[in-house]
Structure 1
Amino acid sequence: MSDAVEDDEVGVEEMVGVYRHDVHKFRGRQHDSGVGEFAGVSVNERVPLGADADASMLSRPRGNPEQSVDNHATPHRLSLVSGDRAVDDPRLVANRRAGIEELVTPSDPEELHARWLTSTAAGAYNESVYYPYTSLQYHVLLAGALLDNYREGYELEDLYLVATDPGEFRRDPVAAQDSDKVEAFRTVLWTPAFALHLTGDPDGRVGVRLGERAVRSFGDVWARLPAYPFDVGGGRRWRVLDAQLRRIRAWSTALAYITDFTAAYQPHDPPADGRHPSRGAGP
């Protein structure tokens, strides 16, 4: 955990601010050139306890950024599944401001988390124009999960990646808040296939501790999960998904890949009994 501050300096407003801290990236801008207010609320403020810096470390490759895809110096995310813009919907472009306002104007932090978790608009943008396959949506969700855990005294290497079935999935923030499978702030991925959580308390659920060595590579952490959140032997598409996730280092890219892949191919529903088959399980 970097740039730590005293616990009494951190309150509920920081859990609101973490979901508003990267509005400038919707326009592909750096923090220093971002506005301080948007839609009547304060935005682009500092995130305490080093949660933003640590989320950035997870979200994108390390080192000095260089444009990695020719002719794509825009804030629009590219999909690793299709190779095209992740969300190529002219309605989102026409209503971009309204879509962003929905992600920042609520004052309830749990509602903000639910909106980011289920947003299509947020999924259209990258975390850095230099790395167009990264995801602004999942960077912000990672920052929120880290901040919530840090506020309770956990450090980055103490956290677990936890996999669960998603319950009844519906891409709607109200459904997310009502779901007993979505943990406020700590659920970083919710799809029809499975959910992923970043937490210091796995509470008996299937998960793996990040640890010091593998924390910066999603693929390394994924490979150490004691069980899949799906039956890898149940179909070729599940095997493809698992193989690709083992290769992806940037967390936001990996989470966006899962979202795009499950939306495109819908391999199948999770096991009806809610169990998580062990590695290699299946026919």
Structure 2
Amino acid sequence: MALSNNVIGAINFVAVLLSIPVIGVGIWLSTEADNACVKILQWPVIILGVLILVVALAGFIGGIWRIQWLLIFYLVAMLVMIVLLGCLVVSVYMVTVRGHGHPEPSRAYLEYDLNDYSGWMRRRVKSSFKWDKIRSCLSSTSMCAELNQSYRMAQDFFDARISPLQSGCCKPPTECGYTFINPTYWISPINNAADMDCLNWSNDQNQLCYNCNSCKAGLLANLKKEWRRADVVLLITLVALICVYLIGCCAFRNAKTEDLFRRYKQGYT
């Protein structure tokens, strides 16, 4: 029985370690400027990671000190955590399955269309109330100012692989035909009516294209890229957690069998 309990404790310690990638993913998302402004995914991930940590610690303590009710709590609660993590992994995949950038002639960077993304993601940025807060947060970052420091010549900028957020928010859409002065200052549009974003562009460094649909699309493209990376880590953790849980169930069942057999032998003798 002691050996089985030690095995259960060791297995649950692995589950404790598996909570670290989940919490780490949430912390990483919170450090990214776009996620910090939107605040959708990072807190659910962090909270779920902490819950997995607490449940795994309960199982570890229950296994080492032979506290049966803690082990039962672990088996039930960890199953719930696995289901929640699985739902989160599937949900992130489903809302990020749509959306991609569009190439433009003589440009290395891509342009982004808001309608390409899932309805759930669009709703996160379409409301003027929500977008005003996000826009204020984005405009306070240095992402557009960094472009001015990095690119002086037009061709250097056109050949740059800037982020979707910078492409959507820091410059006017390429189809408008603005003339490059610097990455955040453009003049003399050729086709000002090509898109409403052409009219929304402003050379005011506090405005730029933060009111444009291209900025919202660029934000969603950035979120999609980061959420997909996070989802891969969460998926790997989920698979590992399922394996650990199944091994733990087998170890717990074996421990119960050993205990019953030991009691039977004591009663028989």
If the length of structure 1 is used for normalisation, what is the TM-score? Answer: 0.26
Structure ranking higher in helix proportion: 2
If the length of structure 2 is used for normalisation, what is the TM-score? Answer: 0.27
Greater gyration radius: 2
